[in-house]
A and B are shown apart, each in its own frame.
Chain A
Amino acid sequence: AQSVAQPEDQVNVAEGNPLTVKCTYSVSGNPYLFWYVQYPNRGLQFLLKYITGDNLVKGSYGFEAEFNKSQTSFHLKKPSALVSDSALYFCAVSSGNNRLAFGKGNQVVVIP
């Protein structure tokens, strides 16, 4: 079975400061890892993914994530947070079987 843990319910960060949202995963075989963002009353928007290759993945809106196989982690990062980054962030994993397992999500609040 595949699963994702997002240990923090809410992440508060001041505008302009670095933002990190944590994610650890469990999967059989090689992981396919994803980050999605959800704004209020909207669907999920794809941010970035890791399938293979470089461990540091760059995605939309200045976000990046680092795949760490030994720690089974895929933390999302942004060097300088914007107020508009305030949203719900979901980490997801699959084993390439087309079925994504999502974490419970992290609410990010960027304080002006």
Chain B
Amino acid sequence: NAGVMQNPRHLVRRRGQEARLRCSPVKGHSHVYWYRQLPEEGLKFMVYLQKENIIDESGMPKERFSAEFPKEGPSILRIQQVVRGDSAAYFCASSRDRGQNTGELFFGEGSRLTVL
């Protein structure tokens, strides 16, 4: 039973380019979360999605960042016109359906974005 799969594991972009990070949740999980981890800091919540819906995007920067979780396929975190401050590790997590939800999140290995 595969866990949360994230790709790419490492991504290098130049300032102004676009970064796309993909996340496939645990099979059977329909809740996906994105967190950002900056050096020397903890994990900061960005967005919570269910299939085809954004439930909570209160942690997302207002500009350049977007997320989706389509009916088919992985969840995508998209960062447009990247800047050096976007360099971070981006973690995706998933959880079970609400009726079976015990609260814990299952994390992927992360995607490490470096902006030159």
Q: Which A residues are closer than 8 A to B by beta carbons? A: 32, 34, 36, 41-46, 49, 51, 90, 94, 96, 98-105
Contacts and interface: CB of A to CB of B under 8 A. Distances in A.
Contacts of B109: 42-43
A44 to B, nearest CB: 4
A43 B56 contact: no
A102 B43 contact: yes
Contacts of A100: 33, 45, 103, 105
A43 B4 contact: yes
A105 B37 CA distance: 11
Contacts of A41: 110, 112
B100 to A, nearest CB: 12
Contacts of A34: 103-104
A59 B93 CA distance: 20
A105 B38 CA distance: 12
A101 B103 contact: no
Contacts of A90: 42-43
Given A42-B109, A43-B91, A43-B108, A96 B42 contact: no
